């Protein structure tokens, strides 16, 4: 994958003309194309504000794919990263799925390949494979269950306690699940999201000192997640004001909580959504530099080009999609 850049080159139409330069005109053109193409636009909560504001649905990767599957849209424009568009293609095989920038990848999904997983499985015959949704379709196809950050603990608890488990690819989410379930027969792949891995316990301490009255919301992919769980269990953190949650869990909690301020330990893109859905409340990033450049690659110009030129289509080979769908359906059958 080529080096990332947040600087967009001009978008040139097929007839040699540039796309609308005025933002309102550009949004109007996107809306026109959205109607003409019978398209639905999805935006992950880490996308830039302009994309979140434009989208039909904003949320986490699996939730967005499931929402899109229920619509009568013929085209899905997924403003996220590559593995998310693959999941949408798996759940909506009769729809065209477009990713506005093919370079929008994921360091976590890239940390394990299907070949590596097959080799790991050979070292642990009979083990149950639980794969985070932040994986490629090929890795999902080699898995027994998928999971999200919201349901990972429930998925693992649904598996017999004496059953060996291979959990991948996120080390920090896996360690949090292992501590939360108390199981010692979970083997962890040593992968990480480079953004969440950079959010350390020291960042949490500094943020708490700066905003002592704020509730703490921590994503379990963070390097600080297991430390927070240990501190909760030991009583060093107040369980009424400390919550380990998925991004969607953070949004729901912040909207329902009586608290007026929150420390947020995840990628900073979610702050825009939190502030929109919980106006009047204050949200502070635990780490200002927790920014995923991959998630910031999609722009209004690229969405316009995607709808105009129907680029870039994401497909999954049927045999891979069928096997990956089994792991996803097993997860859904557990409850959520």
Q: Is 312 annotated as a binding residue?
A: no
- N-to-C CA span, the chain: 33
Q: Is 65 annotated as a binding residue?
A: no
Other C-beta atoms closer than 10 Å to the C-beta of 157 total 15
44 is in an annotated binding site: yes
- DSSP alpha helix (H) spans, the chain: 23-37, 49-54, 61-69, 82-91, 114-123, 137-141, 152-157, 171-181, 201-210, 225-234, 247-256, 270-277, 300-309, 318-334
- Contact of 155 with 147, CB cutoff 8 Å: yes
Cβ contact 243:217 at 8 Å:
yes
Residue among 110, 85, 148, 114 at smallest CA distance from 320: 114
Residue with the two structure tokens 């506005």: 100
- C-beta pairs of 55-61 under 8 Å, 24+ apart in sequence: 55/79, 58/273, 59/247, 59/248, 60/148, 60/150, 60/246, 60/247, 60/248, 61/87, 61/133, 61/134
Q: Is 187 annotated as a binding residue?
A: no
Task: Consult the annotation and say whether 139 binds a ligand.
Answer: no
221 assigned binding-site residue: yes
Residue pair 266/237 in contact by the 8 Å Cβ criterion: no
Q: Report d(CA 36, CA 259) in Å as an integer.
A: 44
Check the annotation: does 248 bind a ligand: no
C-alpha dihedral sign at 43, 49, 54, 56: positive
61 annotated ligand binder: yes
196 is in an annotated binding site: no
285 is in an annotated binding site: no
Lookup: tokens for 170: 């996120």
315 is in an annotated binding site: no
Q: How far apart are CA 212 and CA 70, in angstroms?
A: 43
Residues annotated within the binding site are 44, 61, 106, 132-134, 149, 193, 219-221, 247, 292
**Residues that constitute the known binding site for iminosuccinate:** 44, 61, 132-134, 149, 219-221, 247
Task: List, as residue ranges, the binding site for [4Fe-4S] cluster.
Answer: 106, 193, 292
């Amino acid at each position: 994958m080529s080096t990332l850049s947040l600087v967009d080159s001009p978008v040139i139409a097929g007839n040699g003309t540039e796309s609308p330069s005025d933002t309102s005109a550009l949004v109007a053109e996107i809306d026109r194309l959205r109607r003409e193409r019978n398209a639905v636009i999805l935006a992950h909560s880490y996308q830039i504000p302009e994309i979140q504001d434009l989208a039909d649905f904003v949320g986490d990767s699996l939730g967005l794919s499931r929402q899109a599957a229920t619509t009568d849209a013929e085209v899905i424009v997924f403003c996220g990263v590559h593995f998310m568009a693959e999941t949408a293609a798996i759940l909506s095989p009769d729809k065209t799925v477009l990713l506005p920038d093919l370079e929008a990848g994921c360091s976590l999904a890239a940390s394990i390949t299907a070949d590596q997983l097959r080799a790991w499985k050979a070292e642990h015959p009979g083990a149950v494979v639980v794969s985070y949704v932040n994986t490629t379709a090929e890795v999902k196809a080699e898995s027994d269950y998928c999971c999200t950050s919201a349901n990972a603990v429930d998925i693992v608890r649904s598996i017999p306690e004496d059953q060996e488990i291979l959990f991948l690819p996120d080390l920090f989410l896996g360690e949090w699940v292992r501590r939360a379930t108390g199981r010692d027969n979970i083997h962890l792949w040593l992968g990480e999201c480079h953004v969440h891995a950079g959010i350390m316990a020291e960042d949490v301490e500094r943020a708490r000192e700066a905003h002592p009255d704020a509730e703490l919301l921590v994503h379990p992919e963070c390097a600080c997640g297991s430390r927070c769980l240990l501190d909760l269990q030991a009583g060093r953190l107040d369980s009424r004001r400390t919550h380990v949650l998925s991004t969607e869990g953070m949004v729901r909690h912040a909207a329902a909580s009586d608290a007026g301020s929150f420390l947020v330990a995840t990628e900073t893109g979610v702050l825009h959504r939190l502030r929109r859905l919980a106006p009047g409340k204050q949200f502070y990033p635990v780490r200002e530099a927790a920014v995923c450049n991959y998630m910031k690659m999609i722009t209004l110009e690229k969405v316009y080009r995607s709808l105009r030129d129907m680029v870039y289509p994401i497909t999954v080979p049927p045999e891979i999609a069928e096997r990956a769908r089994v792991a996803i359906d097993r997860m859904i059958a557990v409850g959520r």
